[in-house]
Structure 1
Amino acid sequence: MSILEESFSSIHKKLHNKELKVSDIVEASFARIQEVDDKIKAFVTVNEEAREHAKKLDEALDKNETRGLLFGLPVGLKDNLMTEGMKTTSGSRMLENFVPTYSAAVVHKLAKAEAVMMGKLNMDEFAMGSSNETSYFHPTYNPWNTDYVPGGSSGGSAAAVAAGEVSFALGTDTGGSIRQPAAYCGVVGMKPTYGRVSRDGLIAFASSLDQIGPITRTVEDNALVLGEIAGQCQRDPMTAAEPVPDYLSALTGDVKGLRIAVPKEFLGEGVADDVKASVKEALQLFEKLGASIEEVSLPHAEYAVSAYYVLASGEASASLARFDGVRYGYRANATNLQDLYDKTRSEGFGDEVKRRILFGTFALSTGYYDMYYKKAQQVRTLIKKDFDDLWESYDVIIGPTTPTTAFKVGEKVDDPMTMYANDILTIPVSLAGVPSMSVPCGFSNGLPIGLQIIAKPFAEDTIYRTAHAFEQETDYHKRTPEL
């Protein structure tokens, strides 16, 4: 087993017992990147300064002081998280050479926890996509089978963890962009409650939906990372004052009496038979462990995809208005100001980003705002109420993360409507603002299947308790792709 595949607690113990140095772990990460990233293409930028950071951490460890559980661990960051002095591209030509003057709040928290940043990970351009094929630089490929996509938009983050290039990664989730690639790549991905993690320093796609979350190999490691990055932030007024619990204390392995709701819409038409079979097998395991299961309905879930793309595209059209060639980023050659705007945005943005800006601008325009944007907000309220009603009787909601396993590279990139429908099971959760996590629950034709576990706002500990109990009874998280 590679050191990067070991649990955080195991590495922590070896470091403090002087069996291992931080430099050893970081060199293992560099070696793995060198070995497999030509096939996976997870990285956009590799941080060559990681070696110097590792040496400083080794010196700190020599003082025999106990460090945190993320100490010395190699981490990859989705490339829409600001990193001072290091390129942050958001997967776009528009920011191809952009170097921020400050770092995101979560980057500061990881630095405080003394993790080692290995570099920036590939993503769909401005987080708009479900396959990692809209990146300006190159697509990323699924480590389990490189003919298939890793999912998106955090596909680089999920692929890097699955391929063993880093110990963990951060991604962002707007409509499923952590959970869907986690499912496709057979790793654990958490979308926290909206407001649980600071968005300061995140390049916005849709600000009322975006959330930053961890991608790891195991549930325990995921809980550790969220515990470090969660909490109220003065630089993000949307973060909640809710205290951050000790997520590790929830990992008891006991789900006796847990009340599980299974929406019939999540196992209905469009969900592949192999995915249904794996999810039903997982539910049977929960029953065996003492949980109760009931079928329920989310009656407005069928409208979620339509509402989401109106709302997210509307917010994206506003968020991306700042990229005009005047202040930062790509700047086209032009003869006047209007020409500068037109050429910069035409040349700097890819097709998918342009499509969503145009759609969003239309939905927000005079005469159409009430017809589309306002109506979508009303649907969002109904979807949230559907979830709120279930929390009165149930602890968690469980279903598949995605309707199918990963699809082939190039298979859907020219069919945006089919691509959008791929997020049909993750989008309702995003609109409701509740936490949700994907954990591996099976394989089909060598490709992973993800189980989605959802809980009420700020009940990430309940998700961890549920997922950990399942993980202890299965071995899906122990399997690794052969590269």
Structure 2
Amino acid sequence: MTFPDLPDPQRAWAYLPASPLSGAAEGPLVGLTFSVKDLYGVPGWPLRASTRAPVPDPGESMLVRRLLDLGASAVGKTHLHEVALGITGMNGFGGTTHPFDPERVPGGSSSGAAVSVALWQVDFALGTDTGGSIRVPAAWCGVVGYKPTKGHPAWSTEGVLPLSWTCDHAGPLARDMRTIVQVQEALTGQTVAPQDWAGVKVGLWLPEGWVDDTVREALRLYAARLAGLGATVEAVPFPEVLDAYSPIVLSEAAQVHSEALKETEPGFLPFTHASLRQGQALTEEEVRAAFAHRAGYRAQLDDLLSRFDVLLAPAVPTPPPLVGQEEVEVGEGRLPLRRAVLRLTAPFSLLGAPTVALPSTAPFVGVQLVGRHGEDDRLLGLALALEG
């Protein structure tokens, strides 16, 4: 199969060159292929961020360059939820659909990334995660996603079009943890060893009413599995953080796209345009208050992770919703889809903690494992042990 003829009924691919961008002839990633979310700057490849509006040029991605130097080959660019401001996969080019059910969404914003690995079109995919944009599509597409600690030196966001510089992370998706670990080891030069779960203290974060019965049962079974491996599992509280997350992200996104917003009709989809205008209208006082709330939440998370080794949480509130579905039914009733999803995933990007999304026993319902800041390799080792 030639790459330009790669079948794409899901509209996952934003750009496919005539042939892949070949990696170095020698290196630890030789033989692996990857897709690139269309926020990463790649010389000679267009960057549209899946929007019809004009976007800034971020320059060349240092992460893509590093992966090529390590031997991996880049197949092409994948679509995303428009400018990464959303969690379903809708964009200015028709939107991406689920890899196995065209009536459902794949999750976003790294929608095409998840589809490209779920369909075995590449070995791993580069995504970004600002509020759940790696973990949500990983969960809904049945693959694995890793959001590193904020500022991890191996996962550079230089040369990546931002959504929110406070919350943005670069990271990979793959079909299994072994591939994620192989890429991590190549980038860091450090070995990631499987970790024994015996004696590990797990904080189970499953707020009452926030998920449906399918997700609740999947979390219960996952917690029981960890307990069976010797971990201790204890329920823990943590608040909703959207009062901090939303003002920070929307205000920074409006600054990123300030040139386009000078136009009356810049070309964004209506929801994206309205959200960016909302961010533009926020006052300095409102943004300062959001950062103050963020500092308080960071202290609470640090306290939790001083008492527990990892947190276990749902990655999504329900199985994948239908295309165009704007509300979901969870334990406490019908809620806007965006809020129902983001309140589960946004804490760990807002606060920069390393997190992996892993499949559960329920189809297309993933879980999150959250580690301590800077302890990425230990978190990956724990996740790797679950796959053995």
TM over 0.5: yes
Aligned to 2:384: 468
Q: Distance in 1 between matches of 2:131 and 2:183?
A: 21
Aligned to 1:222: 180
Aligned to 1:315: 252
* Residues 1:261 and 1:116: Cα distance change in structure 2 (over 3 Å): same
Aligned to 1:255: 197
Query: Would you say how many aligned residue pairs link Structure 1 and Structure 2?
Result: 380
Aligned to 1:184: 140
Q: Distance in 2 between matches of 1:199 and 1:172?
A: 9
For the 8 Å contact 1:213–1:226, the answer to whether it is kept is no
- In the TM superposition, what are the counterparts of 1:246-395 in structure 2 within 5 Å? 246-248=190-192, 250-252=193-195, 254-263=196-205, 266-298=206-238, 301-302=239-240, 304-323=241-260, 341-343=262-264, 346-364=265-283, 369-370=284-285, 372-395=286-309
Corresponding residue to 1:167 among 117, 120, 123: 123
For the 8 Å contact 1:267–1:400, the answer to whether it is kept is no
Partner-residue secondary structure (3-state), 1:222: helix
For the 8 Å contact 2:22–2:72, the answer to whether it is kept is no
* Residues 1:354 and 1:277: Cα distance change in structure 2 (over 3 Å): same
Aligned to 1:431: 350
- In the TM superposition, what are the counterparts of 1:449-468 in structure 2 within 5 Å? 449-468=365-384
Corresponding residue to 1:209 among 150, 164, 167: 167
Per-residue CA distance 1:145-166 (angstroms, 9 max, x = gap):
1211000000110011001111
For the 8 Å contact 1:157–1:170, the answer to whether it is kept is yes
For the 8 Å contact 2:169–2:349, the answer to whether it is kept is no
Aligned to 1:42: 12
Partner-residue secondary structure (3-state), 1:138: coil
Partner-residue secondary structure (3-state), 1:92: coil
Partner-residue secondary structure (3-state), 2:312: strand
What's the RMSD between the two structures over aligned residues? 2.2
Q: Distance in 2 between matches of 1:101 and 1:277?
A: 43
For the 8 Å contact 1:89–1:95, the answer to whether it is kept is yes
For the 8 Å contact 1:88–1:95, the answer to whether it is kept is no
What's the offset of the Cα at 1:43?
0.2
State, as a whole percentage, how many aligned pairs show the same letter: 29
What's the offset of the Cα at 1:89?
0.8
Task: Specify the code of the residue in structure 2 equivalent to 1:72.
Answer: G
Aligned to 2:361: 442
Per-residue CA distance 1:333-385 (angstroms, 9 max, x = gap):
xxxxxxxx424xx1332222222221112213xxxx32x22221121111111
Unpaired runs of at least 5, structure 2:
328-333
Q: Distance in 1 between matches of 2:148 and 2:176?
A: 16
Aligned to 2:61: 104
Aligned to 2:73: 116
Partner-residue secondary structure (3-state), 1:44: strand
Higher share of residues assigned helix: 1
Unpaired runs of at least 5, structure 1:
1-26, 61-66, 230-243, 325-340, 473-483
* Residues 1:85 and 1:349: Cα distance change in structure 2 (over 3 Å): same
* Residues 1:247 and 1:153: Cα distance change in structure 2 (over 3 Å): farther
What's the offset of the Cα at 1:416?
10
Per-residue CA distance 1:70-119 (angstroms, 9 max, x = gap):
113221000010011111111111248x9x69420111111101211111
What's the offset of the Cα at 1:394?
1.1
Q: Distance in 2 between matches of 1:417 and 1:320?
A: 25
Given the two structures, how large is their TM-score scaled by the length of structure 1?
0.74
Q: Distance in 1 between matches of 2:223 and 2:293?
A: 30
What's the offset of the Cα at 1:462?
2.1
Partner-residue secondary structure (3-state), 2:53: helix
* Residues 1:206 and 1:318: Cα distance change in structure 2 (over 3 Å): same
Corresponding residue to 2:101 among 141, 145, 159: 145
* Residues 1:292 and 1:245: Cα distance change in structure 2 (over 3 Å): farther
What's the offset of the Cα at 1:418?
3.2
